[in-house]
Amino acid sequence: MDYDIKDINLADEGKVSVEWANKSMPVLNSIKKRFEKEKPLKGVRLGACLHVTTETASLMETLKAGGADISLCASNPLSTQDYVAAYLVKYHEIPVFAINGEDTETYYRHINSVLDGKPALTMDDGADLVSTIHGQRRELIEGIIGGTEETTTGVIRLKAMAEKGVLAFPLIAVNDANTKHMFDNRYGTGQSTIDGIIRATNRLIAGSTFVVCGYGWCSKGLALRASGMGANVVVTEINPMSALEAVMDGYRVMPIAEAAKIGDFFCTLTGDISVIRKEHFLTMKNGAIVANSGHFNVELEIEGLKEISTYTGRIRNYIDEYTLEDGRCIYILGEGRLVNLAAAEGHPSSVMDMSFANQALASEYLVKNSRDLKNIVYSVPEDIDREIARLKLESMGIHIDTLTPEQEKYLNSWEIGT
């Protein structure tokens, strides 16, 4: 079996951590049990490009239990947990192509290694498999049933492709499921981003001015958690509706040019390019800490920062210092890549449980319904989304009410008014 990982001897360490994560993934585990019996993915070649974490290992075990023939590469050069890669190779014989810290060339070589397995299903986090297939590996298209996409940025890329009429197979936007973005993006990103910033810096959040760029689901979670730790949160936005929401949620809202002057911490989560630029770095306070928790490392204009710096160097794990001409220092965390995965371990297992339950069930849905699907971006079917919420509540021992027949009738009628 072909694979490319850091060190197979890390496998036992990985095993302990994956088992720990698994304890918080009851929904995925229940799907795994069913998959073991029903084998809905029997013989399906599945190429996955995901953050190689303990939670991803649980998903891989589930898909394999369902009969899939999997290969896996990383969806970010800095997010691979090398012991997980080793664990999957040694204990599950899954070909993994991922090494933490890999350079761009290796990153794409690994993507191509997964594609060499001629997947019938793709599973992406950021759409790099799909875009490589549509760009350089078009010969694979005819063998592909469809794919799934985990994240907001990837879904935006796919919808742009569908809009232009170039999407060559059906895709399911896992991110659009309520049981994904309302929980993973908000509470997962909120907690894991704070976790990454604290692990990297060990700085006090309380009393600081914490600038959150963007106010989508991920940013909302981060603003909530930073505020909960005592920070004065400032939000920057380009969308009037989201900006208004941030105002009514109790945060100060202003342009990044103003926020740049007052922030102690900055974190971008917009999905867009060049959000914090050279002109903003130039006005920051000495000691400003700047991170990104959006999918790609394009939100901070690090090249621009380099141009105005007299010194750059790594001063501590995950922290690069940039000294400006007047002696002020700016600190960039995790090279401007996803700070929650670069400096911490990504979202907690309990929330990935729902995201990856969506991935597993969306794959099953694609296989079952492949003949009826068009080359567009689909949402996860509502009944799947709702069932995941039900299973999660059940696993938490939480019971809810059901409609009485009278209530049901009332909701389906229009005659009864004041």
- Residues in touch with ligand ADE (CB under 6 A): 50-51, 53, 55-56, 341, 346-347, 352
Are residues 33 and 361 in contact, defined by beta-carbon separation less than 8 angstroms?
Answer: no
Least spacing, CB of residue 98 vs ligand ADE, in Å = 12
Residue type, 293: S
Nearer to ligand ADE, 50 or 367 (CB): 50
- What distance in Å separates the CA atoms of residue 86 and residue 94, rounded to the nearest whole number? 10
Phi-psi region of 165 (alpha: psi -120 to 50; beta: other; left: phi over 0): left
Strands of the sheet with 232-236, listed across from one edge: 252-253, 232-236, 209-213, 265-268, 288-292, 329-333, 319-324, 309-316
Least spacing, CB of residue 342 vs ligand ADE, in Å = 11
Nearest to 93 by CA among 5, 20, 21: 5
Nearer to ligand ADE, 72 or 330 (CB): 72
Least spacing, CB of residue 347 vs ligand ADE, in Å = 4
- What distance in Å separates the CA atoms of residue 156 and residue 165, rounded to the nearest whole number? 14
Least spacing, CB of residue 50 vs ligand ADE, in Å = 6
Nearer to ligand ADE, 85 or 341 (CB): 341
Least spacing, CB of residue 53 vs ligand ADE, in Å = 4
Least spacing, CB of residue 56 vs ligand ADE, in Å = 5
∠ Cα 209 212 215 (to 5°): 140
Residue tagged 């400032």 (tokens): 234
Nearer to ligand ADE, 132 or 340 (CB): 340
Of all residues in the shown chain, the one whose CB is closest to ligand ADE is 346
Q: Which residues pair with 377 in a beta bridge?
A: 171
Nearer to ligand ADE, 53 or 201 (CB): 53
Q: Which helix (H) or strand (E) holds 233?
A: strand 232-236
- SS3 string, 359-385, reads HHHHHHHHHHHHHHCCCCEEECCHHHH
Nearer to ligand ADE, 170 or 346 (CB): 346
Least spacing, CB of residue 408 vs ligand ADE, in Å = 38
Nearer to ligand ADE, 70 or 330 (CB): 70
- What distance in Å separates the CA atoms of residue 120 and residue 367, rounded to the nearest whole number? 9
